[in-house]
Amino acid sequence: MAIPKKGPVKPTLPLNYPKTLLPRREQIKDMITKDGTYLPKSLLHADLDRGFLDFVKDKFKIVSEGINIPVVDILVTTQNWSQFVETWDFQNIDKNLEPPFLTIIRSPEVKYGNNPSVQYNIPNRRMYYYMEVPTWNGNFMGADIYKIPQPIPIDLKYSVAIVCNRMREVNTMNQRVMETFASRQAYQTINGHYIPIINDGFTDESSMDLEKRKYYVQKYDFTMMGFLIDENQFEVSPSISRTIQMYEVDQRPIKRPQKKQDPVQPQIIVLNYPIENVSQEYFFEYTCNLNYQNTVNIISYSVYINDQYYGDDVTIIQINTDDTLKIDVTKLNLGLESEISFTQVLI
Amino acid sequence: MKSNVPITRLGKFFGDKDFELEIGMGQEWLIGDMNYTCVLYKIDRNKIKTDDVYGEVVSDGIKFLPPVEFNAQVTIAAPENKFIGTSTKMDQVEPGNITISVYLKTLQDLQIDIDFGDYIGYYDSENFVRYYTVVNDGRVVSDTKHTYKGFKPFYRTIIAAPVGPNEFRGL
């Protein structure tokens, strides 16, 4: 016999079938939605019911005669067809459920809960601060404030019934329950929330009629101390990202008399002409009017602006910005200094 | 030693030969005309492997002696629609019990006896047999109903409840 080649031989054989069809779709959905946002996930009645079904399937695994005792994977309600859809793989030829199996019953009524951690802390369903999440819009840093209402505590009553023909299966179920609830409570993580479950005891409904089919029915009662959170009630709002301080002042007239300001005296421009100098220039960086004021040792003068003749002995000179004023004078006595002065008025 | 005391009641107009004649005619009707047949799967109490504490079968199913076909008057009750237990909300249509009336002479001829817990198969159709477990073997036949006009008992009424394949699947 040839030795198997290294490549195609599987080193191990999977003992469990991989998930297919609906369970596989649910698995993918859970992968996508797990830890998707900063906010806690919704926790509604259906989520809690699903969580309890998973809890039973996980904690109360019983193997009898080499076969896992199946669990009816729905909560049977008023629609009869659903029972047959979910139990087709352990029905007999009469379409009756063939023991052994586990089934879960939920009391339709759901009462206000006893979970002490979420009782009457915040009145009137007021939203409270949950967390602050930093944001960046490309220009500046900001933050979003997440607010959620306080969860509402609810108590859900479940019964897990084992229907079987053998006392050994009854014993194993009892052992599983006692081990799981050795300290009275167990916990199930549902949508990231930690939900306590309490064992309330059990009852026996075995069919032991003399002339009937005999089978065991043992019912274990549990209370799931859950709470309701609806993600549609969450609020996300932007927080303060920039602060502007503004002052408002009283614009009414003050009763005190306003202080009278002294008038600004116009500046006087004086051009000096040393001995034997009869021409001076002056550069203006602004627009103004020059008013003739006084001359000393001058008979007459000629005015040029930007080397363009303006006039002789003019009393008002209009100056524009960047103009160069040139004044040529005729002195009375050439052996003395002269001067001419103008008052300027800014325009 | 077991004593045999002749039955002399009704002696003026009825006796053993009349009794045997009536039983013979009844069997002719039941076997020859009606021909209802059941199959007895008698538990082999020596080979069956049971739990020491609970007496439940532990492996390999239930062991039984070679099946024996016998004729009887058969009545099957109507099925009952009810919940499993009282509050499981799991609905089911429970098949009705089978009531078998069999001549004592038939049992004697076939050298069989029917006890509590034995299984009986009854063919509903050509390809479907339903199995029942004996819940009342009708062994006590002293009541007047089971005697032929008060002369001697002549048949047993056996009541059996249906079982599922999880408990018994026959051959």
pLDDT tens per residue, range B16-26: 999 999 999 99
Which residues in chain A are closer than 8 Å to B161, comparing Cβ atoms?
211-214
Write down the pLDDT at residue B131. Answer: 94
Contact B88 A103 (CB under 8 A): yes
CA distances from A293 to A41, A312, A317, A329, A334 (A): 90, 15, 12, 15, 22
Predicted confidence band of residue B82 (pLDDT cuts 50, 70, 90)? confident
> What pairs with residue A316 in β-bridges?
A291
Interface test mutation site (partner A, options B59, B90, B99, B158, max chain A beta carbons within 10 A): B90
If one looks up domain B38-162 in CATH, what number appears?
Answer: 2.40.10
Residue A25 parent element (H or E): helix A21-33
Write down the pLDDT at residue A219. Answer: 93
Which residues in chain B are closer than 8 Å to A93, comparing Cβ atoms?
128, 165
Contact B93 A94 (CB under 8 A): yes
Contact A98 B135 (CB under 8 A): no
Q: How far apart are CA B27 and CA B72, in angstroms?
A: 9
The answer to whether B109 touches B69, Cβ cutoff 8 Å, is no
Nearest to A92 among B56, B159, B164 (CB): B164
> What pairs with residue B162 in β-bridges?
B132
Which residues in chain B are closer than 8 Å to A83, comparing Cβ atoms?
90-91
Average pLDDT over residues B95-116: 95
Interface test mutation site (partner B, options A217, A218, A220, A221, max chain B beta carbons within 10 A): A217
CA distances from A205 to A53, A95, A218, A266 (A): 21, 22, 6, 116
Write down the pLDDT at residue B87. Answer: 74
Specify the residue for token string 């325009």.
Answer: A347
Helix (H, G, I), strand (E, B) or coil at B6: coil
B33, burial (CB in 10 Å: exposed 0-12, middle 13-18, buried 19+): exposed
To the nearest whole Å, the CA of B101 is away from the closest chain A CA by: 16
Which residues in chain A are closer than 8 Å to B85, comparing Cβ atoms?
161, 163, 205-207, 217, 219
Spans of chain A, pLDDT less than 50: none
Name the residue ranges covered by the structural domains of chain B: 38-162
Contact B90 A76 (CB under 8 A): yes
CA distances from A301 to A260, A282, A323, A340, B146 (A): 41, 15, 18, 9, 167
Contact with chain A for residue B161, Cβ under 8 A: yes
Contact B84 A97 (CB under 8 A): yes
Contact A105 B88 (CB under 8 A): yes
Which residues in chain A are closer than 8 Å to B86, comparing Cβ atoms?
205, 217
Contact with chain B for residue A210, Cβ under 8 A: yes
Which residues in chain B are closer than 8 Å to A97, comparing Cβ atoms?
84, 90, 92
To the nearest whole Å, the CA of B104 is away from the closest chain A CA by: 22
Contact with chain B for residue A92, Cβ under 8 A: yes
To the nearest whole Å, the CA of B90 is away from the closest chain A CA by: 7
Contact A105 B135 (CB under 8 A): no
Q: How far apart are CA A224 and CA A198, in angstroms?
A: 6
Which residues in chain A are closer than 8 Å to B100, comparing Cβ atoms?
none
Q: Can you list the domains of chain A with their CATH numbers?
A: 21-116+152-233 (3.30.2000), 268-346 (2.60.120.260)
Contact A80 B94 (CB under 8 A): no
Contact B89 A166 (CB under 8 A): no
Nearest to A213 among B54, B89, B161 (CB): B161
Q: Predicted ipTM?
A: 0.77
Contact with chain B for residue A98, Cβ under 8 A: yes
pLDDT of A198-236, one tens digit each?
999 989 988 888 888 888 999 999 999 999 988 888 888
Which residues in chain B are closer than 8 Å to A94, comparing Cβ atoms?
92-93, 95
Predicted confidence band of residue B86 (pLDDT cuts 50, 70, 90)? confident
Write down the pLDDT at residue A49. Answer: 93
> What pairs with residue B122 in β-bridges?
B130
To the nearest whole Å, the CA of B161 is away from the closest chain A CA by: 6
* pTM of the predicted model as reported, rounded to 2 decimal places: 0.64
Write down the pLDDT at residue A244. Answer: 81
Average pLDDT over residues B92-114: 93
Backbone phi and psi for residue A54, each to the nearest 5 degrees, phi listed first: -65, -35
Contact with chain B for residue A100, Cβ under 8 A: yes
Name the nearest CA neighbour of A126 among A148, A153, A154, A152: A148
Contact A80 B93 (CB under 8 A): no
User: How many beta-carbon pairs under 8 angstroms link A with B?
Assistant: 84
C-alpha neighbours within 13 Å on the C-beta side of residue A261: 3
Contact A212 B161 (CB under 8 A): yes
Which residues in chain B are closer than 8 Å to A212, comparing Cβ atoms?
94, 97, 135, 161
**In the numeric block, which tokens belong to residue B36?**
């209802």
Contact with chain A for residue B88, Cβ under 8 A: yes
CA distances from A138 to A26, A100, A237 (A): 37, 63, 18
pLDDT of B123-153, one tens digit each?
999 999 999 999 999 999 999 999 998 999 9
The total number of residues shown for chain B amounts to 171
Write down the pLDDT at residue B139. Answer: 93
Q: What is the 3-class SS of A62-105, one letter each residue?
A: CEECCEECCECCCCCCCCHHHHHHHCHHHECCCCCECCCEEEEE
Helix (H, G, I), strand (E, B) or coil at A286: coil
**In the numeric block, which tokens belong to residue A82?**
């659903």
Write down the pLDDT at residue A263. Answer: 56
